[in-house]
Structure 1
C-alpha cells in the first residue's frame, strides 16, 4: 500500500469516531516517528461549542468528582494501584477528556481500552502511562499498538504464529497480556486448556509476557469459583516457570465484594464514574456523579388554550402556558421517555419536560415560575438536585444509569470543570 493503515490511523487518531473527533476541529497535525504519535502538545481535547457564544448543548466533566471517586476506589482496594478502563468512549463521557484526567492521578497506574482507535487517541491526547488494549486485534493492529507503546491482549490458539510475524517485522518482542476465560464464556482462552498455550507463548522470542487477567460475571458465588480457577492456573504456571507479569482481575463489583481478587492492580471502571455496583454498595463508599448535560434556553413563547406543540401534535395546552425550548434532544442522549417524567433545572427551579422530545429539541413548561430568559443555562442531568441526578433521571425515564451515560452523543462538546 502507498500509505499504510498504521501511518494513516496514527495521523488521524484524534479524528476517528466519537470524542476522538474532538481534535479534528483544531486541525492540529500529529508529527510521526515510524508511525508513532510523537507530538501531541498542540492538540485540543475539546470540541468548540457550549460556550457563551454558542447554543450547542454540552457535557460537563467534574474533575474533582473523578478525583473523589479515584480516592474512594483506592481506599476500597486497600491502596492497590488502579487500572482505569476508559473503554466505549469513557462510558460515554469522552475518552480523550477523561483519559488524561484519570492518568494524571497518582492512584491510577495505567489505563485500559477495547478499541485500537481508543488507545491511539489516548496517546494523542498526551497519556504517557501504560495502556492495555483488551480486545483481540489483527496483525496490522498489533503493529499499530506496539509502535504507540500500547500493550496487547491475546487469547486465540494461533496467537503465537501471528506474534512471530509481527515481531519479525518490528524487530522486537511484543508485550502481551494473557486473557483467561474462567467462566464468563465470552472471550479469553479457556482456563482448562490455557497452560500449554501460555507455555508455548512464553518460550517464543517474539513475546514479552506483560500480564495475565480474567473477567468475572458479577455474581459473588460464581466469581468465587472463577477466582479459584484463576488462582489454580496461576499456581500451575508458576510451577512451570511461566512468567506472568501483571496479574489483574477485579472490576468495581469485586473491588467492593471480593478483596482477595485484587492481585497487582484493580481494574475498576464504573465506580470511577460514580456508579455503584449495586444498591448495597452505597453505604460502602462515597461516590460522586461526574457529569452534567446542559443547554441554553433558545426560545420562550406563551401559548393560549387549544394550541398544540410539536409534530403530531402530541401535546395541547389547556391554559395560558409559557414554554421554553432547549436545543438538546434524543440524538444528544437525552431520552425521549423523559417527557412527562423528568424535570430540568434552571436558576435553582425545576421545570417539567412536556410535549415531546425530538432529535434535537426539548420543551419545558416554565409557567410556574416564568422568570426565565433566553440564554439561561438549563441542566437536564447532573448532581445539582436530587430529581435530575443521573440515577434519578434514568429511573424516571425507564432506562439504566449506565445506559443514560453511555448513550451521550460523542460529538457533543466536553467541558472539564
Structure 2
C-alpha cells in the first residue's frame, strides 16, 4: 500500500448488487453514480452496473454527466439538478436527459434546443412531498402544459415523469402511501395534457426493495448499489447486498503508555490502565467523522479496537490494549466481514457519527487512494 490509506472498490460486488436488486424489482434499474459514484469512482461503477444489466445512469450535474460522456460511457443518463443558466446545450449534444422541475428551467432548455436545432430529452419532476426539487400544486399543470407546447413544436421530448420519496426507508409509512397517490395524480395530469412519457419512476433503493407499488418502469438505486442495506442493517440483511468499499490503512506509530495518559486534544480521553496506543494516518480530512471519536472502532490485530480521544484532521489514535501491535500492521476501518474477520461496517460508522452511510461513503477524501478490484476486497 503506497498511500497512507486506500479504499478498495470491489466491482464484482457492484455487479452482484445490480443483479440482486433486479431480481427483486423486475424493472429496469437506474444506477445512481452521482458524487463520483458515492465515492467509489463514477466511471468504473457505471461500467460495472451497466455490464450487470442496469439500463440507465443517474447524476446530479452537468459536470458529472459530461465526465461519463468524456470517458466514453454512452448509456442513457439523467442529470437532475441545474441552475437556470447551466449549459443545457452541452447536455443536449451529449444525449443526456435533463431533469426539469420549473418552467424557468424548461424555458431555458427549450431555448438551448432551439439554438442547437435539436430536440432536448427532458424528464419532468413532480414534488410529491419531499419539498425539494419538483413542481407541486398549480405549478405542475403549468409545467406539463408548457412541456406539451414545446413538444408539439419539436423543441423537446418528454421522455420521463418522476419524483422522489421522503421516507421509503420506513416500510409502511403513511407518507409513502400519500406520495404514491400524489404521484399517480400528477401522472394522470401529465397524460391528460397530451404527454406520453416512456419512463415513469419513483422508487429509490429502499422503495425498490420493499414497496412494489412504487416501482413503475424504473427504479433508481443509490445506496443499495454500493452494498449498503437501506434499512440500516449492518450486515448483508435479507437482500444479500455486498458492500463494495473497504477502507484500510496501517499503523504508523505505536507507544506503550501508563494509566493517566491523555490522548489527543483536550484531552477528552485519559487512559484508565497501562495500554498500547496505535496511531493511524486518517482523520476527518479523509472522511472519518470527528463526531465518531470515542465511539468508533477499527479492526486491528484480529479484533475491534476503539478509537480514543478526538479524531484530528489527519490522524486518530486507537487503544490496542495489550495486543502485540507494531508499526506497519494493517487496519480495516470499515468493510465486509470475511471468515473470522468482522471489521466495522459503514452502517456502524454512520451510527457512531449520527449520520447516514451516504455521508460516510461520499466523505472519503481525495488523499485516500482508490483501487478497483474484480473480486472481493481482502481485509488485510
TM-score, normalised on structure 1?
A: 0.78
* CA distance in 1: counterparts of 2:260 and 2:109, whole angstroms: 70
In 2, are the aligned partners of 1:293 and 1:379 still within 8 Å (CA)?
yes
Q: Is 1:376 the counterpart of 2:329 in the alignment?
A: yes
In 2, are the aligned partners of 1:252 and 1:277 still within 8 Å (CA)?
yes
Q: CA deviation at 1:327?
A: 0.5
The 3 A distance-change label for structure 1 pair 276 and 317 is: closer
The 3 A distance-change label for structure 1 pair 354 and 283 is: closer
* CA distance in 2: counterparts of 1:94 and 1:124, whole angstroms: 14
* CA distance in 1: counterparts of 2:354 and 2:130, whole angstroms: 28
The 3 A distance-change label for structure 1 pair 374 and 124 is: farther
Q: Is 1:82 the counterpart of 2:36 in the alignment?
A: no
Q: 1:120-162 CA deviation, whole Å, 9 max, x = no partner?
A: 2222333221111012343442112223322111122234532
* CA distance in 2: counterparts of 1:240 and 1:138, whole angstroms: 24
Spell out the pairing of 1:325-340 with structure 2 (5 A cutoff). 325-340=279-294
Structure 2 residue aligned with 1:227:
180
The total of aligned residue pairs comes to 362
* CA distance in 1: counterparts of 2:269 and 2:145, whole angstroms: 66
In 1, are the aligned partners of 2:256 and 2:277 still within 8 Å (CA)?
yes
In 2, are the aligned partners of 1:383 and 1:390 still within 8 Å (CA)?
no
Structure 2 residue aligned with 1:26:
none
SS in 1 for 2:151: helix
Spell out the pairing of 1:43-54 with structure 2 (5 A cutoff). 51=1, 53-54=2-3
Structure 2 residue aligned with 1:33:
none
Instruction: Tell me which stretches of 4 or more aligned residues in structure 1 moved more than 6 Å.
Output: none
* CA distance in 2: counterparts of 1:143 and 1:175, whole angstroms: 11
Q: CA deviation at 1:275?
A: 3.0
Indicate which of 365, 371, 377 corresponds to 1:409. 365
Q: CA deviation at 1:344?
A: 1.8
In 1, are the aligned partners of 2:126 and 2:186 still within 8 Å (CA)?
no
Structure 2 residue ranges without an equivalent (≥5): 374-380
Structure 1 residue aligned with 2:11:
63
Q: 1:178-209 CA deviation, whole Å, 9 max, x = no partner?
A: 11223333221226542423322322321122
Indicate which of 174, 183, 193 corresponds to 2:129. 183
The 3 A distance-change label for structure 1 pair 249 and 313 is: closer
Structure 2 residue aligned with 1:390:
346
In 2, are the aligned partners of 1:339 and 1:354 still within 8 Å (CA)?
yes
Indicate which of 38, 42, 53 corresponds to 1:91. 38
* CA distance in 2: counterparts of 1:288 and 1:214, whole angstroms: 27
In 1, are the aligned partners of 2:294 and 2:306 still within 8 Å (CA)?
yes
In 2, are the aligned partners of 1:387 and 1:393 still within 8 Å (CA)?
no
The 3 A distance-change label for structure 1 pair 394 and 228 is: closer
The 3 A distance-change label for structure 1 pair 351 and 143 is: same
Q: Is 1:209 the counterpart of 2:163 in the alignment?
A: no
- The farther-off stretch of 332-341 and 264-273 is 332-341
SS in 2 for 1:182: coil
Structure 2 residue aligned with 1:258:
211
* CA distance in 1: counterparts of 2:272 and 2:163, whole angstroms: 59
In 1, are the aligned partners of 2:100 and 2:106 still within 8 Å (CA)?
no
Structure 1 residue ranges without an equivalent (≥5): 1-50
* CA distance in 2: counterparts of 1:305 and 1:155, whole angstroms: 60
